[in-house]
Amino acid sequence: MRTTKQLSITLPNSMADALKERVASGAYASESEVVRDGLRALFARDEAVENWLRTEVIASVEELRADPSRAISSEEMRAELSRWHAERLADSSS
C-alpha cells in the first residue's frame, strides 16, 4: 500500500518559478520536497497559533473576566497603538 498520494496542483507563475528555482539551486531534491517542506512549515505555524490562543489569549481573557476594571476601550487602545507606532517611527529615524 502506498504511503503517498499524487496530486495535481496549479500555482501562480511566480510561485511555480520559485519552486523550480529551489530545486535547481540544489536546496531541494524535487518539487514535491519543496511542497512538503512548505506544508510542514504551515502546519507548524498553525500549531503555534493554536497553542498561543490556548495559553496566552485564554489566560488573558480569564484575567479580564476576573477583573473587568483592567479593560480599556477601543478608542484608548487605538490611541495607545498610535503612540507606540509614533515612538517606533521616531526611534527608527534617529
* Banded model confidence at residue 93, pLDDT cuts 50, 70, 90: confident
pTM of the model as a whole: 0.67
User: Is 80 among the domain residues?
Assistant: yes
Q: How many domains does the chain have?
A: 1
Q: Tell me if 8 is assigned to some domain.
A: no
What is the reported pLDDT for 9?
Answer: 94
Within a domain: 2: no
How much is the average pLDDT of 17-25? Answer: 98
pLDDT range class, residue 70, cuts 50, 70, 90? confident
Name the grid cell of 32.
514535491
Domain assignment present for residue 30? The answer is yes
Q: What is the pLDDT of residue 63?
A: 93
Q: Does residue 45 form part of some domain?
A: yes
Q: At residue 94, does pLDDT exceed 80?
A: no
Kindly state whether residue 70 falls inside one of the protein's structural domains: yes
- Which pLDDT value is given to residue 36? 97
